[in-house]
Amino acid sequence: MTMTKLQLITKGFIKDNPTFVLVLGMCPTLATTTSAINGMSMGLATLFVLVLSNMAISAVAPYVPDKVHIPAYIVIIATFVTVLQFLMQAYTPAMYETLGLFIPLIVVNCIVLGRAEAFANKHTVIESACDGLGIGLGFTLSLTLLGMVREILGTGSVFGWKFITGDGILAFVMAPGAFLCLGYLMVLFNKLAKKNK
C-alpha cells in the first residue's frame, strides 16, 4: 500500500495519531501538557527532531549494517536533540526553562525511534520527511489539545488568557487530571479513527 505525500502528512492527525491512537510518547505527553502553550512547544520541539532525524536516518539507512542500526539511529537522534537544546537555550531561554528536562528526553521518546524503525529506514528521504511532519503535527495537535483541556478545566484560561476569576479544578493541572483527560480524549479519537476506516 502506497500513500500519497499528503496522506503521509495528514494520517498523523487522526488515523495514526501518535498520542491517542498509537499511544506512544506518554511520558512527555502527561508531564508537559499543564497548559496549551507548554503542550504546543513540546509538540513543536518533537516535530523538529522527528523531521530531521527521519530524513537523516532514511538517507543513511542503506549503508548502516543491521547489527548496529539502533546505536547509529540513537546517535543521530541525540545529535538533533542536542542541537535543538542549544538553539532553544540561545533563542527561547524562557521556553527552554519551562520544558527543562523533557527536551533531552526527546532522545528516548518512542515516537522518534519508532518512526525511524517503522518508516524512515524503508522509505526515501522525501517520504520520511513527510511522515515526520505528519506524525510531528499529530503529536503537536494532541499535546496542544490536551494542554488546552487541562488549562481550561484546571485554571480557567486558554493560552494564558483567563476567562474566569479565581481557580479552576486544580486537580486537572496535576498528574491525575492528565490521566483523566488523556483517557477521555483517547476514547474520542479512537471513535473518530474507527469511523474514518
Partner 1 sequence: MVLCLFTVCLACSSVLAAVYVVTKAPIDKAAAAKTTKAIALVVPDFDSDPEESAVSLNGQEMNYYTVRKNGEIAGYAIESTTSGFGGPLTLMVGVTPDGKVYNTSVLVCNETPGLGAKCLTDKAFINQFKNLDPAVEHLSVKKDGGDVDAITASTITSRAYTLAISNAVEAFKNIKGE
Q: Is residue 75 a contact residue for partner 1 (CB under 8 A)?
A: yes
Among the residue ranges 9-17, 39-47, 71-79, 115-123, the one whose residues contact partner 1 (CB under 8 A): 71-79
Among residues 6, 7, 27, 86, the one that binds partner 1 under rule CB under 8 A: 86
What span, in angstroms and rounded, lies between the C-alpha atoms of 48 and 41?
11
Q: Is residue 79 a contact residue for partner 1 (CB under 8 A)?
A: yes
Residue with cell 542500526: 69
What span, in angstroms and rounded, lies between the C-alpha atoms of 118 and 185?
25
What span, in angstroms and rounded, lies between the C-alpha atoms of 64 and 40?
34
Which residues share a beta bridge with 158?
Answer: 161
- 66: closest CA among 138, 117, 111? 117
Which residues, other chains included, contact 117 with Cβ-Cβ below 8 Å and sequence gap of 6+?
Answer: 73
Among residues 1, 2, 4, 93, the one that binds partner 1 under rule CB under 8 A: 93
Q: Is residue 153 a contact residue for partner 1 (CB under 8 A)?
A: no
Q: Is residue 124 a contact residue for partner 1 (CB under 8 A)?
A: no
- 44: closest CA among 121, 152, 147, 120? 147
Amino acid identity for residue 45 in this structure: A
Among residues 30, 31, 44, 72, the one that binds partner 1 under rule CB under 8 A: 72
Q: Is residue 63 a contact residue for partner 1 (CB under 8 A)?
A: yes
Cell of 39: 503542550
Instruction: State how far Cα 58 lies from the chain centre.
Output: 20
Among the residue ranges 4-12, 22-30, 68-76, 187-195, the one whose residues contact partner 1 (CB under 8 A): 68-76
Whether the CB-CB separation of 90 and 9 falls below 8 Å is answered with: no
Q: Is residue 89 a contact residue for partner 1 (CB under 8 A)?
A: yes
Smallest separation (angstroms) from partner 1 to the CB of 114: 20
Among residues 31, 64, 110, 192, the one that binds partner 1 under rule CB under 8 A: 64
Among residues 90, 161, 195, 196, the one that binds partner 1 under rule CB under 8 A: 90
Q: Is residue 6 a contact residue for partner 1 (CB under 8 A)?
A: no
The residues of the shown chain that bind partner 1, judged by CB under 8 A, are 34, 60, 63-65, 67-68, 71-72, 75-76, 78-79, 82-83, 86-87, 89-91, 93, 154-155, 167-168, 170, 173-174
